[in-house]
Amino acid sequence: MAAAPTTARARSLLKTPVYELAALQHLVRTWRERLTAGGRQVLVASGVLTVLAIDTRRNQTFLIFSVAVGLLVSALVLARLARGRARLRLALPVRATAGQALSLRGRLEIERPGAVFRVTFGQHVVPRRLAIAPDDVLIAADEPGAVDVRFELTPHRRGRYLVGPLTVRALDPLGLVAGRSCDALAAQTLLVAPPIFAWEAATGALGRRLQPGGIPLASGTGDTMELVGTREWRPGDRLRNVHWRSFARRGAPIVKEFHEEWFPRVAVVVDTHLAMEASEADRAAFEASLSVAASIAAALADRDHVVELLAAGPELYRVSVGRGLGQLDEVLDVLACVEGSKDAPLAAVAPVLEEEIGQIGTVFVVALDWDAARAELVDRLEVLGAETHVVLVREGATSAPFREGIGDERLTLAQVAAMLRGAR
């Protein structure tokens, strides 16, 4: 059974810019990777002494300056002469969850001992979003062998990051400067998804609808239903369904018979409308709503439903999971990268839902506010026969009175945070 690929628009979402320190990136890398903590202190002290030692006739500070600079120059020369060699074996993660620390364990294989090796995890991200500890690991090697190397990576916020590179360098005997790279692991993209919790829908069994074409059509990869057998030709049967081998063998028209599948197909619509000057509470509610949407999709996919995620941003991003169509990771990848939109994007969702509303039995709308436009969308879906449930995530009054239908729910940031804590 073919799996449903992530749509082209969803794949394009994964190419959004990563969080990088653009300013003075080369100097930052040199500071982090080529200087140890002691080397940084000596360099800073040399800068201070440079100012103090300008007037050599009034004080002898230039002597201390000469010693500091001499140490740095000697360390640079000795670091280039370091002959230690080692190779690192460590697999960088591809996905992570916001707020959950990852323990990275690797092996440093010492090929040529006689030096102190420094393993540094380069970090091209904003530290408050993604933390890596420790900054480096120092390993003294007197003989060939393998040594364990451990780092802890803690993503504080969802997003798409570029982490690395991970470099191995031999230190100079003074322990101030790291030499040339013995080995390096290239930087890698890390997708940090919003955290999820065990979602319990307020309703019972969701509506089952006839799916013309079955699972393959639901995935958008074709319109051929599952073949269950053959039968004699009846008036009205299509010519392309004739089973020619059986026709030739029996001398009478025989057609293929297909199985029409009935199963729940659910749409989860994510509201991404944020005002230009959105408050911190509104942005926090947006992050919380993505966790709610991910939790709903995960719960429904586990119940053997087909789940259509529609994230309405500047473009409409859509991905299908469940019943072999795709993995939950595809939903989390999209939610890791989707950003708020200053425009009201739910209007882009309505045509897609209306086109396939005959097969979609239930729609969950994860909303950030409640106003006339959102109410109109929900009312239109109900008129077309879909069962709709609105989950409002908001910390404060809504633009219009929130409807209180069966299955509708309003969550505050504290309630979402409590459910996330209970899932840990």
Q: Kindly report the CATH number that applies to the domain delimited by 8-15+196-208+262-423.
A: 3.40.50.410
Q: Which ranges in 82-235 belong to alpha helices (H)?
A: 214-218
Q: Which amino acid is at 290?
A: L
- The whole-number mean pLDDT for each consecutive block of 10 residues of the chain, a chain of 424 residues, reads 46 49 62 82 87 76 85 86 85 90 90 84 70 86 86 90 86 85 86 89 46 42 54 81 85 76 74 81 91 90 78 72 72 87 71 69 88 86 84 89 82 91 76
Is 34-193 assigned to CATH 3.90.1150.10? Answer: no
Question: One fold for both 8-15+196-208+262-423 and 34-193?
Answer: no
CB 228 within 8 A of CB 282: no
Distance in angstroms (rounded) separating the CA atoms of residues 326 and 344: 29
Q: Which amino acid is at 362?
A: T
CA 307, 312, 315 angle in degrees (round to 5)?
115
pLDDT value at position 393? 92
Distance in angstroms (rounded) separating the CA atoms of residues 327 and 4: 9
Domain boundaries in the chain? 8-15+196-208+262-423, 34-193, 227-259
pLDDT value at position 295? 92
Structure tokens at 158: 């969802």
Q: Which amino acid is at 259?
A: H
Distance in angstroms (rounded) separating the CA atoms of residues 263 and 219: 13
SS3 293: helix
pLDDT value at position 360? 75
Block residue for tokens 């640079």: 76
Within 124-272, strands assigned E span: 130-133, 136-141, 145-155, 159-171, 178-185, 188-193, 208-211, 226-232, 254-259, 261-271
CA 62, 68, 73 angle in degrees (round to 5)?
120
Block residue for tokens 């690991």: 137
CB 291 within 8 A of CB 416: yes
pLDDT value at position 183? 84
pLDDT value at position 172? 86
